[in-house]
Amino acid sequence: MKIGNYSIDQKSPVFIIAELSANHNGSLETAIETIKAAKRAGADCIKLQTYTADTITIDCNKEDFLIKGTIWEGKNLYQLYQEAHTPWDWHQALFDMAREVGLICFSSPFDKTAVDFLESLHTPAYKIASFEITDIPLIEYVASKGKPVIISTGIATSEDIELALDACHRMGNLDIALLKCTSSYPAPIEEANICMIKDMADRYNVITGLSDHTMGSTAPVVATCFGAKIIEKHFILDRSIGGPDASFSMNESEFSEMVKAVRETEKAIGVVDYKLTDKQRKGRDFSRSLYVVEDIKAGELITEKNVRSIRPGFGMHPKDLSQCLNKVASQDASKGDRFHFGIIQ
């Protein structure tokens, strides 16, 4: 998968996305400064959301449309999305700013008009949000554009995932990534189920990653250990500015620490290689080997009293000790000499 100039595969560094979402809090200036801060924090990409309240729902106060049991309780869906949306006439400026600071920029569309709009901005990829994974017509339309499609699986059953993948395949698009996601805001760490990242990669033969709503860096670090190649976190200049997503978003210093932790984790994972580095070979100087620990005279028996496995590692291998015990020394050897077969021949 290639998004802009960034290739994402099993050997590439983790692709780290800063999700702007509603964290502009209604200010274009804040949105622009957030993009600059995301670059400073080490993100590879800034992601937007492209909808209006009217493209995602209707203005209705019937029971079905009232939000319950979340941090947004007390609002209806229309009110939430009216507050949270990123104005479409900002998008060009945000894409341009991302390009200027060296970030990739793309978005989550929520209907076909948003896809058409993002095409006019030459978006390099698309993200399907968790709650849109069941919108098969939208996924087909996105996939038909022939660009990489990243799909969050926050509310998905295995059947939902298969239907979404099939929708992409019908459009001839195999450039797909799946993100493990827990659609709670914030998400409890015990519900992260990071092990599914590797399972989805094996089961569906796609790039996998994490769209994370937990607090802190633990889930992204563990996800990296389980093979995540994409990590997405909500990003905000300062939680004190408020907004619908502020409470579960990382600020610049927190995001920087997460990026550092992920990059160090990648280094720690390394590769499968049983050959020793020069430093490791030098370290063998401190391993065990066979040494004379009491003076030995020619004709004396070799015993565990006068020959032992000790540090350092310049003598014979300890595995050979059993072949030497109870043999007669053919020459003198003094304490501290490296033991060798010549002493008993």
Tens digit of each residue's pLDDT (9 = 90 or more) over 297-318: 999 999 999 999 999 999 999 9
Look at domain 2-269 and name its CATH class: alpha beta
Give the residue-averaged pLDDT of 155-183: 96
Tell whether the model's pLDDT for residue 245 goes beyond 90: no
278-344: CATH architecture: Alpha-Beta Complex (3.90)
- Contact assessment for residue 236 and residue 249, using Cβ atoms and an 8 Å cutoff: yes
| Tokens (6 digits) for 289 | 């080997």
Which of 177, 184, 240, 172 shows the shortest CA–CA distance to 215? 184
Which of 286, 306, 285, 304 shows the shortest CA–CA distance to 296? 306
Give the residue-averaged pLDDT of 129-157: 97
The whole-number pLDDT of residue 185 equals 84
List, as own/partner pairs, every contact residues 72-81 make where C-beta atoms lie below 8 angstroms and the sequence separation is at least 24, other chains included.
72/244, 78/53, 79/53, 80/244, 81/51, 81/52, 81/53, 81/56, 81/57
Per-residue confidence at 72, pLDDT binned at 50, 70, 90? confident
Give the residue-averaged pLDDT of 128-151: 97
Q: What is the pLDDT of residues 39-56, one digit of tens each?
A: 999 999 999 999 999 999
The whole-number pLDDT of residue 300 equals 96
The whole-number pLDDT of residue 135 equals 98
The whole-number pLDDT of residue 219 equals 97
Q: 192 exposed, middle or buried (CB, 10 Å; 0-12, 13-18, 19+)? A: buried
Tell whether the model's pLDDT for residue 183 goes beyond 90: no
- Contact assessment for residue 257 and residue 221, using Cβ atoms and an 8 Å cutoff: no
Domain extent listing, the chain: 2-269, 278-344
The percentage of residues in the chain with a pLDDT greater than 90, rounded to a whole number, is 88
The whole-number pLDDT of residue 345 equals 79
